Structure 1
Amino acid sequence: MPLALIYSNLTPITLAGDRVLVKYFTFWPFSFRHTLYCMSFRQPAGFNPILIKEKTFRILIFQQNYLYMKSLKYLILSLLVIGMMSCSGEGGTTTGDASTTEIDSSRMVSFKGRSIDLTPYVEGFPYSGFTPFYAAGKLYYMKSGATTDLLELDLDGDTDLTKGKKVSDIDYSTRNVWSIRYNKNDKQLYWTGDEKNDEIINLTRLNPETGEVTKLTDVPYIFGYRWNDTGDKVAYIARLGDKANRLGELRILDLKTDEETKVIQDKAEMRYTWGTPSWQPNGKGLVVTALKDADRSFGNIVYIDLESKTQRLVTDASKRRSFPGIFKEWLDDYTFMYVSNEDGFSNIYSYNLATEESSQLTKFTTDLGTSEVITIDGEKYMFATTSSPIETQIYLLELPSGNVVMQKQSDASLGVYDSDGNKMLVSAGSNASMFRIDEMTVTKDGIASETKVDVPQALKDKIYKATPERITYPTFDTDPETGEPRELHAYLYKPENPLPAEDQIVMIQSFYGGGNSFSTRYQILADAGIYVLSPSPRGSRGFGKDFAALNDKDLGGNEIIDVFYAAKYISEKLNIPPENIGVFGGSHGGYATMRCLTFPGEINGNPVEFDWGFGLSHAGFSDIIHFYENCNIPDWVTLEAGDPKTEADKLNDRSPLYHADKMKGHLLLTHGTNDSRVPIEGSTMMADSLKKYNKPVKLVKFEGQGHGIKGLENTVVFYQTWFDFLEEVTSGELKN
């Protein structure tokens, strides 16, 4: 029999999709005042929602299924619970009989009968991109809301982030902004970035007093930039072409006259690449990073003489090393320092241009993390950390000897923002701690820290929903160092309130996981009762050069088997069936997600099977050769996958697009329409192919977005898309 809701002064507000908000002033048999509920068409079995119109109101009537109801009391309580699980926050005004009220998008998502409020995650701490500068006496940072704004605060004053002053009218969610720096000479900010999330990267200047923004260059891409000691000239490396037409050029821009000088172009055997140029203190030359034959596994350093406009190779080109990093500070007019992993781990070296001699200052067996040249009692020292996903160690080193003066362990991963004498501003965080900015005062005897910016405790209480546990799991091959089965590192994020045993699911990050850093995404999933496994498959950073190179030329190969073994391990450990285990990732991880679901069952002679339940891929590529031909990082493709000219058959076989007929589970694809790094065709082609084979796939495009998702509303829609998909998959609403 039908059961009607009894109401007084009822005001309905419609939402997008299947939700209806209903404001009750009186609800029988209980009384409520000015309370908002939302009734959703997507309800548990036993309810058949019917939308009717009566006078100027929209109300929901639910048809009772007698088998599910025992009394009027329980029905009404159920309606209230369901409403609160499905509704958004109150907003908007009623405009008349036939109109629909416009309100802000809902911040609520639901999963397995739970209501998850996204508000504290996406709005509770809407700050990012922190760049404090001692010379400016300012902290600059981004705040995300209806727009993304650049704000500033005085470092010596109240560092309450809510009190930041807006310094320009740009909506930074519409563009990429990288490497913000403050020039103490002209008191202006500089960065490299684009104007519409398309990664056409140029040098930009902002006057924080007037808000005036000036684009200083007009090239397809800039690898890196840095000004000289007096701050009146800036050197930058421009990329003018790609693939067969690749061409790099060192240019110098006079910031007073805007006159630009083209110094020298690279050659095929040594191509300029990502890295920050470093000026010789006497202004006679610069050192820049370069790749031998455009191969990312052979990073080198080149010295460029500005007077003769000639260059010479500084490093041994026969040695394998990733991108070397060059310090801004020199030890003297002829001796610079750099970071290289040529001995297997990231370490600090020095090189003297006059004697042409190189010295290794550190011999760490864990990769270098952050580092900064500081001054204590008039003498130069190096503050450095070694950082892996497992632990962080702090070192104070004498210069130029590299002798260790102090060593201590840190409970957080650290990153140096800026320094002044023996003081530093650093970021501190871990997988269990979101974020803070500390000011460290370093002496030869120890370190004193004072927290300058922290996340409010009340917010931490709302968003800390998972406990990370470090685990190791065996994969398929043997570790050559131990002769035992290779063990891989991972973190398991355990929800504080997991789902009932029969509903439990696990989501496994396919790549770029295993780090000791805080993930808001993991916490949101934990809030829904979902376990997250974050492994470090071969090719991951933080375990030395050799481990990072294990997937070189093997994209979609053994790295994917590592993810399969992670799934097998966690399925057994938690007693969760494969159909309740999914895989997710972005970029390379988006490709790896598609590869997992379409895996042909064997690679490199190694068979593996797993019946994945679902996958969520963001900004992934599905055809490796198409990706190579259309992306802005083709040298990454040749390093990770191989040469499309000579290995086309292998690359096609490793492409999920050509195994779409084998897909297991359900797939969600999300992608920004303006993505130049991984063009959206990587997702659209995959979706089209899967539909031809009647495979369950959903594609959601984010208009105007690039490689990542930016802006408050886009972020909310992204998570709502995820949870809608997860609800449909795990409830059986999506069918093959």
Structure 2
Amino acid sequence: MRLPRLAFLAGLGLVSCASPEPPKPVPVPPAALVPPPVEPPEAPAPEPAAEAAAGITLEQLLDVHRATAPRALGREKFLFLSDAPGTMQIFSASLDAAPTAEPTAPVQLTKFPDRVVALRLAPGGKGAVFLKDKGGDENFQIHWLDLAAGDKPEATQALSDAPKVRHTLPVFDDAGKRFTFTSNARNGKDMDLYVEALPAKKETFGKKPVVALSGSHAVADFLGDRVIVSEMRSGFDQDLWLIDAKNASKKLLTKHKGDERWVSPRFTRDGKSLLVLTDRGREFLSLVALDVATGKVTPVLELDHDVQDLDLPSYTSRKAEAGQPEDIVALTVNVDGVEEVHVVTLDAKRKVVSKKKTDLGGVVSSLDLAPAGDVAFVGLERPNLPTEVYRVDVATGAVTRATKSHHAGIDTSRLVPAELITMKASDGKTISFFYYQTPPNAGEKRPVVISVHGGPEGQAQPNFSPLVQWLALSGYAVAAPNVRGSTGYGKSFSHLDDKEKREDSVRDLSEVGKFIAARPDVDPARIALLGGSYGGYMVLAGLTLYPDQWAAGVDIVGIANFRTFLEQTAPYRRHLREAEYGSLAKDGAFLDRVSPIHKVDRIKAPLMVVHGTRDPRVPIGEARQIAEAVKKRGLPVELLTFEDEGHGIAKRKNRLVAFPAMVDFLDKHVKAKASP
């Protein structure tokens, strides 16, 4: 089960915890989630943008609602997250048995001012746990949702109330009598393992860990007393542990040297093995069976692309019925940034019996198999198709749209698709990028925005982005590159920007810009950079290392100074980031050398900086110091901050301020710029 992507990534196309009185379920009109009145922005909003060539406004694009993170109650009923209220909240819905029937009206189950980031159903479907934070601080608190309570006030209950503590999403045991999670309550850094009996009581919740752990850990599965815990040392190096929930004994299942990924482990039906994704001995993630008793690894499905995600049913029976497959697996395969959805069945020896590719393809945000294994619910989007939930029939492969969100009256057929373009870098490496543009007029030379993804353990994919769509519809071209260090192209490619090679990826960015500048329909003097998180660092690095190449830059929650970033990022994240960037103790001089703040005298282009003041990942000080340094040089600089946001812009009311401001900045310094 994949958790939903961060709000800033989805939004950019790049990047008290409980209400005083629990909300009652709110029926929503059929066929669309009707938008609520927009709250007044915290800062004066720019003038409404002009209507694009397709008759679509930026405000319309920002008012498109997203439905994602489905959790199957059965073949027809499911929960999902929607940002219809302005932040992601939990809704319930059901599909008519007829495959051609329209989705029924969803019912809103939570109503908080801040986002719900993830949810998981309890066995039997009587309740669910979910995580939410406050103002984007990512100190996620655990809540219980009683699905049998209807509209009673006690339907939603906060189980944890520790504003400075981060919790991970609980995993239920197969009997539904306990759940387990990790939390950094002990010291703010290490994620320890906790087990709670149900019904959980707030008074005693999370008081004592079952096992104290060192480092970053999250629970993956829970069967009987056996807990599978994933230890993350970096984005490319994980281990799996088997922990006994009763006696707290630990067993390492994936002993290895060097970097290996072990992702999305799930117990097989018989409980003897884990089905898990790994790149052990391979360039790409593949599906293997890991014997829990012996540690033997058996290949199940190996492809020349990453198997990106997987899910198994929460089996109601641990023994397959006659004629039924031993295990059913829904999985996604990443082919050049576009994900395919497959359904695979296995026999008791973990051999593939059948493999079906469904008609679903795009960017998959979530994947969930129903308990019976008969259907899978998928959250999926494309550039010209905003995120919706779909149901896949496992037996037939038939696809049914399960949600029909409010699209603000936009004819999605008029949205701009993405074209995949490849090029060779100066050292012969293949670099690809997604290119968005409307057909150019004869002799037209248009401005370009290069949108850089975050991570760096990430990938630019062809998703729906209001900002990218607006820019493309209003006369820009937009390029979203996957420079070296991006995932999805093999293990070796992902490591080409490690530590001392950091600025090699910035050279790729420059070469992508030069490749695009050579197009006959592009004005080489009007190419700008835009990026979020690590993509924000790439914007600043591009402006400092190749200052004559860019017309402007937009840095969203980006790193300006690796030293202050590592000193001030949340303690539970520091060791993960040092594994990627280098440590201050060993690599301090190098980190200073590659920090854009120390090369700010080279910047020649106007800069806009956007940041949330509650950001635990890249603290607000990164934005303030780079904006102040550029201002001292007398260059145009704009700093836009939000007091109720963290690592990105999650709330619609704030996107209605931030996105038009970014467009105005780009129009002023790029689109309106006269060619030399």
TM-score interval, normalised by the smaller of the two chains: 0.7 to 0.9
CA distance in 2, matches of 1:233, 1:562: 50
User: What is the Cα deviation at residue 408 of structure 1?
Assistant: 3.7
Output one character per residue of 1:69-97: Cα deviation in whole Å (capped at 9) or x when no partner: xxxxxxxxxxxxxxxxxxxxxx99xxxxx
CA distance in 1, matches of 2:394, 2:467: 35
User: What is the Cα deviation at residue 471 of structure 1?
Assistant: 0.8
Check the 8 A contact 1:285/1:304 in 2, yes or no. Answer: yes
Using a 3 Å threshold, how does the CA distance of structure 1 residues 167 and 408 change in structure 2: closer, same or farther? closer
Gaps of 5+ in 2: 1-36, 39-43, 314-319
Using a 3 Å threshold, how does the CA distance of structure 1 residues 643 and 323 change in structure 2: closer, same or farther? farther
Output one character per residue of 1:4-26: Cα deviation in whole Å (capped at 9) or x when no partner: xxxxxxxxxxxxxxxxxxxxxxx
Larger-Rg structure? 1
CA distance in 1, matches of 2:623, 2:186: 26
Partner AA of 1:330 in structure 2: T
Between 513-522 and 193-202, the greater mean CA deviation after superposition: 513-522
1:285 corresponds to: 226
Query: Does 1 or 2 have the higher relative contact order (CA < 8 Å, sep 6+)?
Result: 2
1:179 corresponds to: 118
Partner AA of 1:382 in structure 2: V
Using a 3 Å threshold, how does the CA distance of structure 1 residues 167 and 427 change in structure 2: closer, same or farther? closer
Counterpart among 499, 502, 523 of residue 553 in structure 1? 499
Between 580-589 and 549-558, the greater mean CA deviation after superposition: 549-558
Counterpart among 500, 509, 513 of residue 451 in structure 2? 509
Partner AA of 1:418 in structure 2: L
User: What is the Cα deviation at residue 534 of structure 1?
Assistant: 1.0
Structure 2 length-normalised TM: 0.81
Check the 8 A contact 1:468/1:492 in 2, yes or no. Answer: yes
Using a 3 Å threshold, how does the CA distance of structure 1 residues 108 and 704 change in structure 2: closer, same or farther? same
Identity %: 20
CA distance in 2, matches of 1:472, 1:107: 38
CA distance in 1, matches of 2:420, 2:543: 26
CA distance in 1, matches of 2:57, 2:46: 9
Using a 3 Å threshold, how does the CA distance of structure 1 residues 337 and 612 change in structure 2: closer, same or farther? same
Between 195-204 and 666-675, the greater mean CA deviation after superposition: 195-204
Partner AA of 1:279 in structure 2: F
- Are 1:300 and 2:239 counterparts? yes
Check the 8 A contact 1:465/1:495 in 2, yes or no. Answer: no
User: What is the Cα deviation at residue 556 of structure 1?
Assistant: 4.1
- Are 1:597 and 2:539 counterparts? no
1:696 corresponds to: 636
SS in 2 for 1:626: helix
Number of matched residues?
Answer: 602
1:323-472 map, 5 Å: 323-327=262-266, 329-342=267-280, 343-373=282-312, 377-379=323-325, 380-389=327-336, 391-393=338-340, 394=342, 396-399=344-347, 400-403=349-352, 405-408=354-357, 410=359, 412-413=361-362, 414=364, 415-419=366-370, 420-443=372-395, 446-454=396-404, 459=409, 461=411, 464-472=414-422
Between 256-265 and 309-318, the greater mean CA deviation after superposition: 256-265
Counterpart among 148, 151, 159 of residue 216 in structure 1? 159
CA distance in 2, matches of 1:247, 1:391: 35
Check the 8 A contact 1:556/1:595 in 2, yes or no. Answer: no
Check the 8 A contact 2:532/2:557 in 1, yes or no. Answer: yes
Check the 8 A contact 1:107/1:716 in 2, yes or no. Answer: no
- Are 1:139 and 2:46 counterparts? no
Partner AA of 2:577 in structure 1: V
CA distance in 2, matches of 1:627, 1:425: 39
Output one character per residue of 1:275-331: Cα deviation in whole Å (capped at 9) or x when no partner: 433113xx232121114xx4544311111123331212111231421353211x434
User: What is the Cα deviation at residue 163 of structure 1?
Assistant: 3.6
Check the 8 A contact 2:485/2:498 in 1, yes or no. Answer: yes
User: What is the Cα deviation at residue 624 of structure 1?
Assistant: 0.5
Using a 3 Å threshold, how does the CA distance of structure 1 residues 266 and 390 change in structure 2: closer, same or farther? closer
Output one character per residue of 1:257-281: Cα deviation in whole Å (capped at 9) or x when no partner: 53555211124xxx342x433113x
Counterpart among 252, 268, 280 of residue 313 in structure 1? 252
SS in 1 for 2:629: helix
1:458-497 map, 5 Å: 459=409, 461=411, 464-477=414-427, 485-496=428-439
Check the 8 A contact 1:464/1:523 in 2, yes or no. Answer: no
Counterpart among 565, 568, 583 of residue 627 in structure 1? 565
- Are 1:255 and 2:194 counterparts? no
The structure with more strand, counted as a fraction of residues: 1
CA distance in 2, matches of 1:580, 1:455: 36
- Are 1:188 and 2:124 counterparts? no
Gaps of 5+ in 1: 1-90, 93-103, 478-484, 602-608
Q: Indicate the RMSD between aligned Cα atoms, in angstroms.
A: 3.3
Check the 8 A contact 2:380/2:387 in 1, yes or no. Answer: yes
